[in-house]
Amino acid sequence: MSGRHDWLIEPLSSDVAQALRRLQRAPGVERIAVMPDVHLAKEVCIGTVVATDQWIYPAAVGGDAGCGVLAAQLDVPAERLRDPVAAASVLAGFAAEIPVLKHARASPMPAELEERRLSHAALEREKKRTCRVQLGTIGRGNHFVELQSDDEDQLWIMIHSGSRGIGTLIRSHHEAVGERVAGGLRRLDEASDAGRDYLSDHRWALDYAQANRGRILGGALRVLGDVLGARLVEESTIECHHNFVRAEVHDGRPLLVHRKGAISALKGEPGIIPGSMGTPSFHVEGRGNGDSLNSSSHGAGRVCSRTEARSRISPKDLERQLRGVLYDKRLASRLVDEAPLAYKDIRRVMRAQKNLTAIKRRLRPLLVHKGT
């Protein structure tokens, strides 16, 4: 059985503990690090870091390869957003400029992405069919565009999105040809043609996800420029993936490190750890903790499923929890599964991983544009 290190804020549920034991027994798994935001997901839990010898486990990356967060500072004080008319105009502008699922018209992708071919004709067809209309969209679930205030009352933007539909298709395509092992997981040998194809497509998905966040930022800046006269502060941008696999060396050994709902936290590496709607987020710097495979949590982590949250949290509960945060209240009944009480306490998460990351900046949410 592989070695494992945990950073937890509470005992593991039986379902999560069972899923982690199954993952530890998977062939080729050498080490596992469990983050404080760990929670149940299909096959491999979110908040899990897995190191293997030569084997790629697509489920340990997840479908949304390249999902991550971008943050950047704006050159106006957060006080400007406290004008209710200006704030409402920004929220309406975000809804118009940054769709949830797709744009009405296709737009060109960066030439570098257009020219790089995916490994199979079916993936290429999907790339041409959906990637152009999904570029610059946030997606559903916990993805968002958020405006925040730091402790000096400076305005920041934070964007959480990923590779959208193409990431899921890349995973399902490659898992279909993978070798099934005990526990039901599928794996690919990194040295095989199938493994090389997955890694190439995975790299494309990461680059598409980064381009997607960049396109979202462009749309948001147009709105913020028109309404607030705000511009991006040069060289303030921070960005990190939290669903990816990468070849790394640990204790002198080459390993394939899979992060599913976890960020790289090399010593001195900048990172972003969002809270939930209505709770703080943090800019951090990695401490390079080898036991964690140089990783940390990617957020707060859910405490209940979306179905449970919808049965326990009402729109009025959501409004109370988001006091002081502007959001589209017309969507309240469909946003209750994203309420702060559906997530772990981000402050406890940060305390649990204080030997993984150092907090450099705390940010408080002011406005959230989120899909349902």
- Per-residue pLDDT, 223: 98
Q: Is residue 130 a part of any domain in this protein?
A: yes
User: Residue 220's closest CA among 66, 112, 109, 81?
Assistant: 81
Q: Is residue 215 a part of any domain in this protein?
A: yes
Structural domain that includes position 149: 3-303+343-370
Q: What is the pTM of this model?
A: 0.97
Tell me how crowded residue 15 is: count the other CB atoms within 10 A of its CB.
Answer: 11
**pLDDT per residue over 333-372, tens digit each?**
999 999 999 999 999 999 999 999 999 999 999 999 998 8
Provide mean pLDDT across the span 305-317.
96
As annotated, the active-site residues are 298
Provide mean pLDDT across the span 287-311.
97
What percentage of residues in the chain have a pLDDT greater than 90?
Answer: 98
Provide mean pLDDT across the span 171-189.
95
| 135 pLDDT more than 70 | yes
Q: Is residue 337 a part of any domain in this protein?
A: no
Q: Is residue 333 a part of any domain in this protein?
A: no
What percentage of residues in the chain have a pLDDT greater than 70?
Answer: 99
**pLDDT per residue over 76-132, tens digit each?**
999 999 999 999 999 999 999 999 999 999 999 999 999 999 999 999 999 999 999
User: Domains in the chain: how many in total?
Assistant: 1
Q: Is residue 195 a part of any domain in this protein?
A: yes
Q: Is residue 127 a part of any domain in this protein?
A: yes
Q: Is residue 323 a part of any domain in this protein?
A: no
Mean pLDDT over each residue of the chain, to the nearest integer? 97
The residue type of 123 is L
| 1 pLDDT more than 80 | no
Q: Decide if 336 contacts 318 (C-beta within 8 A).
A: yes
Q: Is residue 315 a part of any domain in this protein?
A: no
| Domain of residue 28, CATH code | 3.90.1860.10
| 291 pLDDT more than 80 | yes
